[in-house]
Amino acid sequence: MRLDFNVLWVDDQPDRVTAQIAAITKRMQAEGFQFNPKLCTSVDDVTLAIADDVFTDEVDLILVDWDLGNGVFGQDAIAEIRSSVQYKDVVFYSAQTAPADLRQSAFDKGLEGVYCASRDQLVDEVMGVFESLVKKVLDLDHARGIVMGATSDIDHMVNESLAAIYSKSDDAAKRKMLGDALGYVNKKAESTKAKAEKLATAASLADFFEAHMVFQSNDKLIMLGRALKSGQFSTHSGFRPKIRLYIEKVVPDRNILGHKVVTPAGKPLAIVDNKGATMTLEQTRELRRLILDLRGDFSELLAALQAHGDAPVGSVASPVISE
């Protein structure tokens, strides 16, 4: 499972479901997930969408309107989708036709795994299916996987942001960046050497598990924040508080999740690492919400840095955030 909840949505008049899209988005964000609808207005659009193996592998739910215009009906679209996406749940809805009639249409077409609802019931029906899907897998172990995957995405954006800054810097600034990076590595190397000397008298393998690699994600985050503090890239300094928030609120919890394996003895209520730090399922939901917000900020920062200098000054705006 991912932080993103991907939906194939088939409706020939998508402007009539904007309120439903907004409501579903808000309710899923409250659970720490991003609602990503891929809108198709015709069966031809559906055929193109499901031809993309990457998309069909990642689709979590399918929504289909009954009346698709020009004499085409939702059950036909569902049958087309089922030819490629056989095991995904479908919510079949209509503003005109009763759910009982929709069920009959699906039955007559030999379609299974189809939930039926009126358009007014659509949001609740979608959230019901979403909660059912999530609850099937969202124990602490899966919740940890979602967090680790999402933070890995942010790590990649941090790398790309630093690369963008480096590529757009002058020679002196590039040398400084390389020097700063080497400084982090040398500092870690000294620390690693000291740890190695200490480990020479270790009484347990557990002592070795505390030794980690050099130039870690935290170093890159600090380096990125400093690069935005002044000089050529200070126009993007409004992102610095977001980087600090990620360092202070996300990284410690990610480390708890990353450094402890959940034992398969029932469904534990909390993860406890070897230092006694804990993480509950409810806390992972709060963490997902925060990561979801910050992921958007890091994505915006990366886009701004990649566009830096490619357009007139002021064309790429940074958020105004007070420290």
Least confident of 38-52, 136-150, 232-246: 136-150
pLDDT digits (tens, 9 = 90+) for 292-304: 999 999 999 999 9
What residue spans in the chain does CATH classification 3.40.50.2300 cover?
4-137
Q: Higher pLDDT residue, 199 or 68?
A: 68
User: Model-level pTM?
Assistant: 0.76
Reference 162, options 121, 220, 213; nearest CA is: 220
Average pLDDT, whole number, for the chain? Answer: 84
In which residue are the tokens 């592998």 written?
57
pLDDT for the residue 11: 95
Q: What percent of the chain has pLDDT over 70?
A: 82
| Start-to-end C-alpha separation, the chain | 34
Tell me yes or no: is domain 4-137 CATH 3.40.50.2300: yes
Tokens of 139: 């124990």
Measured between alpha carbons, how far is 116 from 69 in angstroms, rounded to an integer? 19
**CA–CA separation, 210 and 203 (whole Å):** 13
Among 301, 319, 309, 297, residue whose Cα is nearest residue 173: 309
